[in-house]
Amino acid sequence: MEKVIALTFDDGPNEGTTVQVLDVLQKHGVVATFFVQGCNINPTSAKVMQRAVAMGCEIGNHTETHPNLTTLNSDEIKQEVESTAVKIFDAIGQQALVFRAPFIAENDAVYAAVPYVFVNGYHTVDYDSGNDVNFRVEKAISQAHDGAAIIMHDFAGNHQTVAAVDIIIPALLGQGYKFVTASELVALRKPESMKYLRNM
């Protein structure tokens, strides 16, 4: 059976790091999923999202302002998610199918309020600037396995992750992995009834 894996990026979109990640993906001919924050979507970054979709990548919902959803009430949670959903649809003409909670902060109230498949996965701790390129590469490759989603970040200025991805992709291709979107990963490796995927 073919080994599949998903690269995922949180906290974009932007005209810097997100574009650089897309350049690396395009260079290697693979796709990824971008979990975007509504507050970062503007006419310019919307064009970056459009490029991602045109390349076969996926856009997921990562809330409007990146709060800890477990500290909010149901209406506040829904507002965070629905606001971003509208912006995503306006930008790319498609609904997001997948969701990642900021800080992976989830509970039953969050699950009840958010009508998406939750896709989490395996962290590279690349939000910490003290973790260098080699650390990020090692974290990604050591945790890679069939059906895994790798969590990285494309927030502005995260250049070490761009460099890491340029190493990670050919390494995993060499191990026989096929890169898929988060939705494809869910469809290929998890039953339809399994809505909340804490680890894959």
Catalytic annotation, residues: 10, 153
Q: What's the 3-state SS for 105-131?
A: CCCHHHHHHCCCEEECCEECCCCCCCC
- Write the CB contacts of 73 (distance below 8 Å, at least 6 apart in sequence): none
Residue 140 phi/psi, 5° resolution?
-65, -50
